[in-house]
Structure 1
Amino acid sequence: MANKHLNETAVQPYSGHDAKLEFPFTSDAGFKRAMKDEEICKQVISAFTGLAVESIKSISSEYSLSPVLGGRGIRLDVLVQADGRLVNVEMQRADPGEIARRMRYYQAVADTHTVGKGSPYAKLVEHIIVFACTFDPLGCGIPRYTFRMQAEEAPEAPFDPGFAWILLNSSAWAKEQNSSLRRLLRYMDSGTAEGELCRRIDAVLLDAHEDGLWKEGVREMMTVEQRIDWAEHVGEKRGLEKGMAEAAAMYRWLSEGGRTDELMRSFSDPELQQRLLDEFNAVKQKG
């Protein structure tokens, strides 16, 4: 079925879409919704990795992996099988800390699931991990960091373990030379939908936001931390001094105080939320 928003957004790029969209591309829900579209997924992967993606075998979101019984599992934002390789893309709107160790662990856990017992190591498929960040994860002011293994003493020595890690920094989009990646990073940073890919993502998300059941389902499935992040983000983007921004501060206060049960109930109980907000404001005034 044709997307009714595609022609509208193709007229000219517009900025500030975060003020329109409750769940933009950089949000957990918006990113996963857009990446379900195979053509969008293919072009996003191509822009993020610099590889020409010919075909996609599967797209999985919220993909859970566990290394061993009792070990720490991981949940991947989006895992794509494309052209015989695995590409894991994580959208990061806040700095989770220890990002290098996190990428290492994701790589290790995923590898244990790509070969069976007794299989040769040659069966390990090429694996690329991308963390698409709305901030500069390493503070060097560049839009893209690519990591591959090599010998310090002989960088030219042939040594290819079959993986690469990529960190993207949308705040430095203007420095990116590749036009496809530059437009996508700019879209992440400001919501300016320039170019066919960004306009297509916009159209998909605008369509999704007209689906009340989808939005309600997203809200219900959000974890406490996701709700806090969402409330803070919406409050910041819309310039609210109260409302969402104030609620976000209260959510974090309750979460840090171990009052998660009250916090969760307040999401569907306006009266409880108001009582908790009054309590929070009273404590804040005393402090």
Structure 2
Amino acid sequence: MKYRIKPWEELTITDDYMFKLVMRHPKICKRLIEKILHIKIKHIDYLDDEKSLKFRYAGKGIRLDVYVEGDDTIYDIEMQVRDYGDEELAYRSRYYQSMIDVDALATGADYKELKKSYVIFLCPFALFDGQRHLYSFRNICLQDRNLELNDGTNKIFLCSEGQLDDVSPDVKAFLDYMKGLPSGDTFVSEIDQFIKEIKVKEEERVSYMTYEMKIREAHDDGRAEGRAEGQIEAISKTIPMLKKLKLSKDSAIQELMDTYSLSHEKAQSLVNSIW
């Protein structure tokens, strides 16, 4: 399937690229966090717009959509367009949280110096029981739910498809805006106007096209790599079967060469590693 580049003119707040552009505006980013958490922030500092946390050990890197620090608190705001399911998103939030902490410790901080942090997922779909717009999670004692662990970690899921009247009118207006619904809310109108202004900037359009071309190249490379990985997985299952059939190593090597169009050296290496 050919990777489709979404036209620049069609981008909305839920598109990854546009979301980051909007959240790059300090005033908008600050006000969104304030509205979601009902707090006041003195200032925000952008640690990295698109911060990739990758380490020397063999691990899975993540990309943080908006990674900001305000009043000694770290906020990671993620626009989650794809509905991976409740369990997958729960584990994603756990992984994002852990990588934020590991990143801080990697810079030399002591674990007692870890800052309070929020991982905020904006989801244009229903989650969990499908009733709420807002789900907030902290670590509590199961035996005494009034007792909190107070480890400074917070995970928030905001869903556009909730049924209850459980968020403020301005947050609800933003969630409706994520769904493409019109709104007379002042904050939403400010965001919408900002997006319109961005879209007429030629340098932003060119930057987006360059970005999307790189994504397409990575997508195509990933598909090719996936095909190669799929072949290796199939071969790893085939070799034990050939062994059970009492074939000799030489016969097994020839079978792999014929079936998977492998060189003799490659087939021999695979057989020797598994036989």
Partners of 1:36 and 1:59 within 8 A in 2: no
1:13-52 alignment, distance < 5 Å? 21-52=9-40
The one-letter code of the counterpart of 1:135 is F
Q: Which has the higher contact order (CA 8 A, sep 6+)?
A: 1
Instruction: Give secondary structure in 2 for the equivalent of 1:114.
Output: helix
1:160-179 alignment, distance < 5 Å? 160-172=150-162, 175-179=165-169
Q: 2:203 aligns with which of 213, 237, 256?
A: 213
Aligned pair count?
217
- Indicate the residue corresponding to 2:58 in structure 1: 70
The one-letter code of the counterpart of 1:23 is L
Instruction: State the shift of 1:198 in Å.
Output: 0.9
Worse overlay, 169-178 or 134-143: 169-178
Distance 1:256 1:176, change over 3 A: farther
Larger radius of gyration: 2
- Indicate the residue corresponding to 1:132 in structure 2: 122
Unmatched runs of 5 consecutive residues or more in structure 2: 1-6, 228-275
1:56-205 alignment, distance < 5 Å? 56-58=44-46, 60-97=48-85, 98-115=88-105, 119-172=109-162, 175-205=165-195
CA distance, structure 1, for counterparts of residue 119 and residue 111 of structure 2: 19
Instruction: State the shift of 1:225 in Å.
Output: 10
TM-score scaled by structure 1?
0.67
CA distance, structure 1, for counterparts of residue 217 and residue 185 of structure 2: 33
Instruction: State the shift of 1:221 in Å.
Output: 1.3
Q: What is the root-mean-square deviation in Å for CA atoms of aligned residues?
A: 3.0
Instruction: Give secondary structure in 1 for the equivalent of 2:10.
Output: coil
Instruction: State the shift of 1:167 in Å.
Output: 0.7
Partners of 2:133 and 2:167 within 8 A in 1: no
Instruction: State the shift of 1:79 in Å.
Output: 0.4
Worse overlay, 27-36 or 96-105: 96-105
CA distance, structure 2, for counterparts of residue 107 and residue 78 of structure 1: 13
- Indicate the residue corresponding to 1:13 in structure 2: none
Instruction: State the shift of 1:116 in Å.
Output: 5.1
Instruction: Give secondary structure in 1 for the equivalent of 2:50.
Output: strand
TM-score scaled by structure 2?
0.70
Deviating beyond 4 angstroms after TM superposition, the runs of 4 or more aligned structure 1 residues are 116-119, 254-258
Partners of 1:173 and 1:185 within 8 A in 2: no
Distance 1:90 1:177, change over 3 A: closer
Partners of 1:34 and 1:40 within 8 A in 2: yes
The one-letter code of the counterpart of 1:112 is V
